[in-house]
Every structure is written in C-alpha cells, then in structure tokens.
C-alpha cells in the first residue's frame, strides 16, 4: 500500500514542485473555496478544499494571481483521478484559472481550460516552472501581467465570493461586512 493523499502531497508533490522552481510564495495549500450562496434568507458556503493553488506574484505591492490548481490523490490512484474534482473547484469557485492538474505524486495530468485539451500523464519532474506557466498564461489571456490591462486583477483586494439570487458579488470583510459591488448577473 502506497502513501495516502496527505503523505503524497508532503513526500512527493511538494518536493517535485520545489524542484521545478515553485516556492512557498507561489503555493497556497488546502484553500477553501470562498463562494457563499444566498437564496432568500438562507446562506451556504461551497465546500471542499483545493489541494494547491499555484500563484504568480508580480510585485510586492500587488496580490498574487492564481493561474493553476492541483488536486492531489494518493499514489495508488491513477494521475488523472482528481482532474474532474479540480475542474469542479475551478468552476464553482469562479477562480477562472486556465491550468488544472491532478497528480498521484509520481505523474500529473493537465487540463488546459483555454484549449480544452487534457494531456497524457507525465512524470512530476516535467511539471512546469512558474516562468513557463506565466508565459502560457500571458499567451492565453492575450496580455502580460505587467501590462496596464492586468492592474485591476492585481490590485483587487482578496475577497470571498457571494452569490445573491443569481448575482455574483464581492464580499469584502470590513467593519460592517458589507457587499461592495455586484460583479456579474451570470452564474
């Protein structure tokens, strides 16, 4: 019997990510999706945890940008076993990250949301570096994170998402816990 999921992350995936150039500054572990759903008088929070959110930090005065998610599974599972779960997290949390991964610690599978292509399993020592993913992100988005077009993305405060009867809003914690603006009518 192989490593369970927690040991797979600690003993296989974490070292592989570090070897590819990902530092603690780039990685956010076990992030709980922040979406809150309100219908009528009832509120619920989305459940589940994203094992890894890979982020790119542009400068000290901007927030990091999430560009990829990794769903880890125990080493006994096939590498693609968590890919649908990663897709579900990406879509239900409204993170809009273009690159989704699943890994069993030995291999990983990538789903590129910009092309709709799922790659064949590859060894973890071939996982993409922050620079490579940043270049792919730039190509997919059509602008660089250094461009003026990216400034709103980089300077928005960290928020939870709030869905109020079909509207996606930003929940900005503060003195009165108020909703500051409505972002979209479409879910």
pLDDT at 138: 84
On whether the 5-32+48-155 domain is CATH 3.40.50.300, my answer is: no
**How confident is the model over 53-72, as a mean pLDDT?**
84
Which of 31-35, 59-63, 143-147 is the least confident region? Answer: 31-35
Question: For the segment 81-123, what is each residue's pLDDT rounded down to a tens digit?
Answer: 999 999 888 776 666 788 999 999 999 999 999 899 999 999 9
Question: For the segment 13-35, what is each residue's pLDDT rounded down to a tens digit?
Answer: 999 999 999 999 888 887 655 55
Region of 33 please: left (phi>0), alpha (psi -120 to 50) or beta: beta
Question: For the segment 116-132, what is each residue's pLDDT rounded down to a tens digit?
Answer: 999 999 999 999 999 99
pTM above 0.85? no
How many other C-beta atoms can be found within 10 angstroms of the C-beta atom of residue 151? 13
Map residue 180 onto helix, strand or coil: strand
In sequence order, which residues have a C-beta less than 8 Å from that of residue 160 and are 6 or more positions away? Answer: 34, 35, 36, 171, 173
| Domain assignments of the chain as residue spans, ordered by start | 5-32+48-155
Percent of all residues in the chain with a pLDDT value above 90, rounded to a whole number: 41
């Amino acid at each position: 019997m192989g490593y369970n999921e927690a040991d797979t992350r600690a003993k296989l995936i974490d070292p592989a990510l570090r070897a590819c150039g990902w530092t603690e500054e780039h990685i956010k572990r076990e992030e709980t999706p922040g979406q809150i759903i309100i219908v009528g008088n009832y509120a619920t929070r989305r459940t589940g945890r994203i094992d890894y959110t890979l982020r790119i930090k542009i400068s000290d005065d901007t927030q990091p940008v999430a560009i990829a998610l990794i769903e880890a599974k125990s080493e006994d599972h096939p590498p693609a076993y968590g890919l649908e779960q990663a897709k579900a997290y990406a879509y239900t949390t409204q993170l809009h990250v273009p690159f989704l991964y699943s890994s069993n610690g030995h291999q990983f599978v990538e789903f590129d949301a910009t092309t709709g292509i799922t790659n064949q399993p590859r060894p973890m020592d071939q996982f993409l570096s922050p620079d490579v993913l940043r270049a792919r992100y730039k190509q997919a988005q059509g602008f660089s994170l250094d461009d003026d077009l990216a400034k709103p993305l980089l300077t928005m405060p960290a928020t939870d998402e709030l869905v109020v009867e079909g509207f996606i809003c930003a929940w900005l914690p503060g003195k009165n816990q108020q909703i500051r603006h409505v972002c979209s009518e479409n879910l």
